[in-house]
Amino acid sequence: MLKIKQKTHIIMKNIISFFAFLYCSFVIFSASAQEIPLTEAPENAVLYFIEPANLETVSSPVVIKFGLINMGVAPAGVNLANTGHHHLLIDLEELPAFDAPLPANDNVRHFGLGQTETTLSLPSGEHTLQLVLGDWLHIPHNNPLVSEKITIIVE
C-alpha cells in the first residue's frame, strides 16, 4: 500500500514537473517573440513592381525593378528609420510569417545590399512574383509592406 502511494506520488511529481516545464517554455517562447519589436513604417509607403507588369509576357532572363514610395532602401544590418531592403517572392503560394526574419531560399530572395533591381532566369511558363520589404533584421515592418502579387508569362 505504501509502495503504491509512493509510486503515485512520484508520478504526480513527474506530471507537475512536466507541466511546469511546458509553462516555462511557453513563457520563454512568448518573451523571445516579444523581444524583437517590429520596425515602424510610414502609413503612406507603397511597394510595387516598376517592371514587369502584371500578366506581361517576357523572355528569360527577366529584368525585375522594385519600386518603393515614401521610404528609403538601406542594406541589411543598417538600422535607419523609414528604410528597409527588398525581398522577392518567386512562385510562393503562402506568405511567410511576418513577425520573424524572412527565410532565405530559392523562393524568397533577399537583396540585402540594397539592390533595387535584379535579373532572373526563369523556365518557360507562368510565374508569380511578389515583393516584401524587410527591416535591417529581415523582418517585415509593423505596417507590412507587400506589393501586389503579379503573374508573368515567360516565353
**Nearest distance from C-beta of residue 14 to Cu ion, angstroms:** 44
Q: Does 84 bind Cu ion (CB under 5 A)?
A: no
**Contact yes or no for 48/148 (Cβ under 8 A):** yes
For Cu ion, the closer CB: 110 or 127: 110
Q: Does 138 bind Cu ion (CB under 5 A)?
A: yes
**Contact yes or no for 134/87 (Cβ under 8 A):** yes
State whether residue 131 is helix, strand or coil.
strand
Grid cell listed for 41: 513604417
For Cu ion, the closer CB: 110 or 141: 110
Residue ranges of alpha helices (H) inside the chain are 2-35
For Cu ion, the closer CB: 85 or 127: 85
Rounded Cα–Cα distance for residues 38 and 100 (Å): 9
Answer for which of 86, 110, 127, 141 binds Cu ion (CB under 5 A) is 110
**Contact yes or no for 71/42 (Cβ under 8 A):** yes
For Cu ion, the closer CB: 41 or 154: 41
Answer for which of 74, 86, 89, 134 binds Cu ion (CB under 5 A) is 134
Give the range of 5-13, 41-49, 56-64, 136-144 binding Cu ion by CB under 5 A: 136-144
State whether residue 2 is helix, strand or coil.
helix
Q: Which residues would be at the binding site for Cu ion (CB under 5 A)?
A: 110, 134, 138
